[in-house]
Amino acid sequence: MDSDIGIFGGTFDPPHIGHVAAAERCRLALGLRRVLFVVANDPWQKSGERPPSSASDRLAMVKEALEGFDGLEVCDLEVRRGGPSYTIDTVEELARTEGVHSPWVIVGADLSTTLDTWHRAGELASLVHIAVLSRPGSPLVLPAGWRSVAVASDELDVSSSLIRSRVQSGEDIGDLCASGVVHHIAAKHLYIENQR
């Protein structure tokens, strides 16, 4: 039986209205009871890019971003596990600890063509379903060899890098992030220095 649990993994540095809208769209379209925002401890596929904010800051911001949304939950499993964050490890741990089988893994259209490069991709493909969200500027392609469906998104053209750039430039981000996220960024002086 297919799971009614969705796994939405990411760096979430910071989480924004696009993340929440995408998760909510998938929750409704797929009839999911819970969508877990799985905060990556060490996003290995982004190595070589700017170092992410601390896991504790990113977890706190996701918690703020999801305030008031039923069925959307922050998940610290990868942070607690430590080391590089691999979706296959998370799927196996959720099966072992919570009895979650055949969950939906939610990815943007920009990632759907990279699934075969993911850690233990063949095993992962046999354990999950993939929900591919349309994303502005990215063609929506369903990955071959994966059980997948397309989900139309709200087409919000927003990214974490745009928000970091705005913060560094002193611009307002209140239209792109939940107020709790905005306050956390300001209180911790995130994204001010050493940005590329």
* Crossing angle between the packed helical segments 179-188 and 55-65, to the nearest 10 degrees: 150
pLDDT at site 48: 62
Q: Are 52 and 160 in contact (CB under 8 A)?
A: no
Confidence of residue 194 (pLDDT cuts 50, 70, 90): low
Tell me the one-letter amino acid at 58.
Answer: R
Confidence of residue 170 (pLDDT cuts 50, 70, 90): very high
Over range 38-63, report the average pLDDT.
86
Where are the chain's structural domains? 5-159
CA dist 86 and 88 (Å) reads 5
Query: What's the chain's average pLDDT?
Result: 92
Architecture of domain 5-159: 3-Layer(aba) Sandwich (3.40)
Q: Which residue would you say has higher pLDDT here, 155 or 183?
A: 183
Tens digit of each residue's pLDDT (9 = 90 or more) over 54-93: 999 999 999 999 999 999 999 999 999 999 899 999 999 9
pLDDT at site 195: 44
Determine the Cα angle at 11 with ends 8 and 13, to 5°.
120
**Alpha carbon 41 to its chain's center:** 12
- DSSP element (H, E) containing 164: helix 160-168
Q: What is the pTM of this model?
A: 0.93
Backbone phi, psi, residue 63, to 5°? -60, -45
Q: Are 5 and 103 in contact (CB under 8 A)?
A: yes
> Rounded to a whole number, what is the distance in angstroms from the first to the last CA of the chain?
45
Tell me the one-letter amino acid at 150.
Answer: A
Tens digit of each residue's pLDDT (9 = 90 or more) over 113-126: 899 999 999 999 99
- Nearest residue to 19 (alpha-carbon basis) of 41, 42, 36, 3: 36
Confidence of residue 46 (pLDDT cuts 50, 70, 90): low
Tens digit of each residue's pLDDT (9 = 90 or more) over 123-148: 999 999 999 998 777 778 899 999 99
pLDDT at site 152: 87
CA dist 147 and 129 (Å) reads 5
Which pair of tokens denotes residue 84?
Answer: 């590089």
**Token match 């998940």: residue?**
75
Tens digit of each residue's pLDDT (9 = 90 or more) over 93-113: 999 999 999 999 999 888 888
